[in-house]
Amino acid sequence: MRYITVFILSLIFWLLLTFKLTVPNIIVGAVASLICSLIFTRFFISNVYKLLQPHRYFWFIIYLVVFIWECIKANLDVAYRVLHPAMPIRPGIVKVKTTLKSDLAKTLLANSITMTPGTITVDIIDDYLYIHWIYVRSEDPEVYTGLITGAFEKYIKRIIE
Amino acid sequence: MTDFLNILLYIQIALSGICLYRIIRGPSIPDRMVGVDIFGILVVGICAIISIQTEKSFILDIGIAWIILSFIGTLTLAKYLTGKKLNE
Amino acid sequence: MNNMISLIFITIGILFNLLGCIGIIRLPDTYNRLQAATKCVTLGCCSILFGVFFHFGISNAGIKALIAIPILFLGSTVAAHALIRGTYHFGIKLGEKSVKDDYKDAVQ
């Protein structure tokens, strides 16, 4: 079942990329997708039936809107820090605990954190994320955990788990 | 319209020149690698603008391939920085 | 009309790229440079590609530009993450203004 899912997804990707619905094109795409599905299925998510549940897509769209808004805020933040003559930076690496369990969810959370204002993920060890912060706003672990992961964790939990 | 697009293209090329400054000048090896990474992303922007100017779609293919290649290159360089062999 | 919207998106993208490149020159150490540059330049190039999508509409080239956006996002964020981790393991110290370093205990 996982093999078939990867095959269909890569065939759709091929058709979007070439944008031509002729028979030779589909045959070439099918062969390439077959090779891809044989090699790369072991990296795919284990429960493919999650792809068929519509409420996950609904939360994904809401997550996308929040994410783009945070991205724009991040850019304005960087612009403020770069153009300010005194450069108000106060960098540091902080340790944040996450409640997410699966690897895919942790990766998505780390990617989101990288694009939010002033933070970039350095490493993930077990349940802890190490985050380089350009302006450490507080020294208290509970406060900065809420500031960094609070915006995304609940959406990612609904999307993936 | 075309003139304005030309100006934007020149600005983008000048920005990649700034990245070259960081690559040449950077005091340590990781600084140069940051320059290489950012340079790779800026080239994608140059490809996109040229594809509008020439109205040809294959230049965007070059852009997508460039994204993936610069991604793999950066990962390799980062692995070199951590001091591991490539097969670990 | 579509040309106008696409030009606006491309101009915004190049402004973001400009900010990122100023950051790469001005900020004092590797970590902060990487941080500013990755955010600004990634969103700038995504904005340029979105402008290209508006210019071509739904066609061969437009769909390609749209596909390039998620690839660029995932690729550049993962690359930045690998690069900053490599920088730390290489032995570059955090900048002089740093106030906190929790990662030091985890590495040893």
pLDDT tens, position by position, C20-38: 888 888 888 888 888 888 8
The two tokens of residue C60 are: 């061969």
Residue A33 has pLDDT above 90, yes or no: yes
Q: Answer whether residue C108 is part of any domain.
A: no
Domain assignment present for C75: yes
Domain-embedded: residue C79: yes
Regarding an ipTM greater than 0.85, the answer is yes
> Per-residue pLDDT tens for C55-88?
888 888 888 888 899 999 888 888 988 888 888 8
Is residue C24 situated within a structural domain? yes
- The mean pLDDT of B5-21, rounded to a whole number, is 90
**3-state class of A132 per DSSP?**
strand
Q: Which band of pLDDT confidence, cut at 50, 70 and 90, is reported for residue A34?
A: very high
Query: Is residue A89 predicted with pLDDT exceeding 90?
Result: no
Cα(B49)–Cα(C49) distance, rounded to whole angstroms?
A: 8
Q: Residue B75 is nearest to which of C11, C42, C79, comparing CB atoms?
A: C79
* Residue corresponding to tokens 């759709």: A12
Q: Chain C: nearest CA to B41, how far in angstroms?
A: 7
Residue C64 lies in a domain: yes
pLDDT for A27 = 94
C56 vs A: CB within 8 A: no
Check residue B88 and give its pLDDT. 62
Task: Please say if the pLDDT value at position C2 is more than 90.
Answer: no
With an 8 Å Cβ cutoff, are C45 and B22 in contact? no
Q: How far is CA B15 from CA A89, A101, C10, C15, C27, in A?
A: 24, 41, 14, 11, 16
User: What does the DSSP 8-state code read for residue A135?
Assistant: B
More confident residue, C97 or B31: B31
Give domain status of residue C106, yes or no: no
Cβ <8 Å between A136 and C27: no
C103: in domain: no
**Cβ pair C24, B42 in contact under 8 A:** no
- Pick from C26, C31, C64: CB nearest A91: C31
Between A99 and C17, the higher pLDDT residue: C17
pLDDT of residue A38: 92
- What mean pLDDT do residues A66-89 have? 86
B10: Cα within 13 Å, side-chain hemisphere = 5
Q: What is the mean pLDDT of residues A87-95?
A: 83
Flag whether pLDDT at B87 surpasses 80.
no
More confident residue, A135 or B5: B5
**Is residue A99 over pLDDT 90?**
no
Is residue C99, in this structure, part of any structural domain at all?
no
Dihedral angle of Cα B59, C53, B16, A18, to the nearest 10 degrees: -30
**B35-75, pLDDT tens digit by residue?**
888 898 899 999 999 998 888 888 988 999 999 999 999 89
- Looking at residues A110-125, what average pLDDT do you find? 85
Q: Which residues of C touch A78 (CB under 8 A)?
A: 19-20, 23, 35-36, 39-40
Residue A30 confidence (pLDDT) above 90: yes
| Mean of pLDDT over chain A | 86
The boundaries of the domain holding residue C14 are: 2-94
AA identity, residue B12: Q
Neighbours of chain A (3+ CB pairs under 8 A): C
Q: Mean pLDDT across chain B, nearest whole number?
A: 87
Q: Is B37 on the interface with C (CB under 8 A)?
A: yes
CA distance C6 to chain A (A): 18
- Quick check: C19 and C57 in contact, CB under 8 A? no
Whole-number Cα distances in Å, C85 to A31, A113, A146, B5, C70: 38, 15, 24, 38, 23
- Find, among B32, A128, B54, the residue nearest to C56 by Cα: B54
- The nearest alpha carbon in chain B to C39 belongs to B38
The yes-or-no verdict on residue B86 having pLDDT over 70 is: no
In which band, very low, low, confident or very high, does the pLDDT at A71 lie, cut at 50, 70 and 90? confident
> What is the domain count for chain C?
1
**Is the pLDDT assigned to residue C102 strictly greater than 80?**
no
- Predicted confidence at residue A11, as pLDDT, reads 93
Check residue A118 and give its pLDDT: 80
% of chain B residues with pLDDT over 90: 24
Residue C81 · residue A131 · CB < 8 Å: no
pLDDT at A138 over 80: no
